[in-house]
Amino acid sequence: MMPRPNYKLTELAEEMVRCAQPLLPAGGRLFLGLQQESDGSLRMIWWRGDDFRLIAEIDASPEGFCDEDTDEGALQDAASACLTYLAGRWPSPPRRLGVITDGTGVAFSPNRPAVAEPGWLLDHAGGLATLTTILPLDGEGPCALLCTPIEAASYH
């Protein structure tokens, strides 16, 4: 848990959420995992919130990002900026660092930073791992199973 709010991280997360919204259809009950690899490539993963089923996945290196005037390209740029900044807050940055977003909030897991790791979703839904919130997730949205009760949640 970060000792106090980080306004730059919050600003970057808000931009990432804004860019993710067009890629999360209303009523679709989908959420996104965004994971940056040590080489700077970005993995975008769509899951269904009801059963955590993988819906779609895109991997791209920064050179292969879509044009920034497209929804996907805007999200790639915003997520890359947010994850790069977040990694810079780590004493020793993990090789893979990711966040999840439901189009409302953004959260990450300091103890399990790679969102694409097998078992990541189930461990968080089952309470074996906890999220740190940058922006609050919708407690009734597609990430509801991953949201911890407000008393137990940690905020950056």
| 153 pLDDT higher than 60 | no
Longest CA pairwise span in the chain (Å):
42
Q: Which of 78, 86, 135 is nearest to 113 (CA)?
A: 86
pTM above threshold 0.85: yes
Residue type, 123: D
| 44 pLDDT higher than 70 | yes
> How much is the pLDDT for 148?
58
pLDDT average, residue stretch 123-141: 91
- % of the chain beyond a pLDDT of 70: 92
Which residues on adjacent β-strands are paired with residue 47? 31, 54
| 103 pLDDT higher than 90 | yes
Helix (H) or strand (E) holding 123: helix 120-125
| 149 pLDDT higher than 90 | no
Burial label for 98, CB within 10 Å (0-12, 13-18, 19+), is buried
- The structure tokens listed for 22 are 């067009």
8 A C-beta contact, residue 89 and residue 6: yes
Task: Identify the band that residue 28 occupies on the pLDDT scale cut at 50, 70 and 90.
Answer: confident
- SS3 category, 106: strand
